[in-house]
Amino acid sequence: MGTSRASARSVVFAPLDPHSRAETVVRRLTDAITFGLLTDAEQLPSETDLAAQFGVSRVTVREALVALRQQNLVETRRGRGGGSFVRAPTAAADRSLRSRLSELSLPNLRDTADHYAAVAGAAARLAAQRADADDILRIEEVDADVAGPLHRMERAYHLEVAAVAQSARLAREEIRFAGELGTLLWSPILQTADSTYDPHAEHRAITAAIAAGDGDLARRLTEEHIETAVERLVTLHLTLVEP
């Protein structure tokens, strides 16, 4: 457990891609705090160090810290021994990812994820049957948006696929799952054994299968895409939840 927590922590501070902004720093630190990877009263690295580790400017880090202070997740003390300190959310923060994650039972999580894979997979298969060239462009456009957090892009991508499938019901299910599971499933601090994990690359393969009219492949790739994400979530769940 010590090792996996330590490696999960190293992911927290991994460099950000150049499109990311203060918002991504905020989300990564928020998730780390709410998941308990950064503990209460723990001192954060200095602004300079954070900027270097995230690969962003100090201005961006400062902007992120302001937002975290407003959310009461970080406290900044001046003077000797000063710096930014983690304020772990208390019982009041029942909206937090951590409490949501520990409330989930693994059987329920598995069941929800199976349902979601069925919905997203079926949407991809139907999209392959029903997409025209303009539809493919719309799907590609959504996936190309890397400015916001991952869960937002994931919601938009799979919702667009359901729309291209011409299914209002599947689109409604996508919206429901995004609200229920999205921020957990696509939290940037979840890890995989495979360091090359890239949801965008998986989307590009799904989109290519849809464009080629290969519904079976589009469905299989989508199911695997969801399964990989669920595996990451289950691994973290097992790491965090005490026996």
Interface positions with another protein (CB under 8 A)? 23, 129-132, 134, 148-149, 151-152, 155, 159, 162-163, 165-168, 171-172, 175, 178, 182
The residue (of 20 and 167) whose beta carbon lies closer to another protein is: 167
Distance CA 224, CA 243 (A): 29
The residue (of 36 and 215) whose beta carbon lies closer to Zn ion is: 215
Distance CA 222, CA 7 (A): 28
The residue (of 135 and 154) whose beta carbon lies closer to Zn ion is: 154
Considering only the stretches 109-117, 128-136, 148-156, 168-176, report the one whose residues sit in contact with Zn ion under the rule CB under 5 A: 148-156
Taking a C-beta distance cutoff of 8 angstroms, is the pair 144, 180 a contact?
no
Closest C-alpha among 192, 162, 211 to residue 154: 162
Q: Which does 131 bind (CB under 5 to 8 A by kind): another protein, Zn ion, none?
A: another protein
Distance CA 193, CA 10 (A): 14
**154 contributes a contact to Zn ion by CB under 5 A:** yes
Residues near Zn ion (CB under 5 A), total: 1
Q: Is 218 helix (H, G, I), strand (E, B) or coil?
A: helix
The residue (of 83 and 148) whose beta carbon lies closer to another protein is: 148
Distance CA 127, CA 113 (A): 21
Binding residues (CB under 5 A) for Zn ion: these are 154
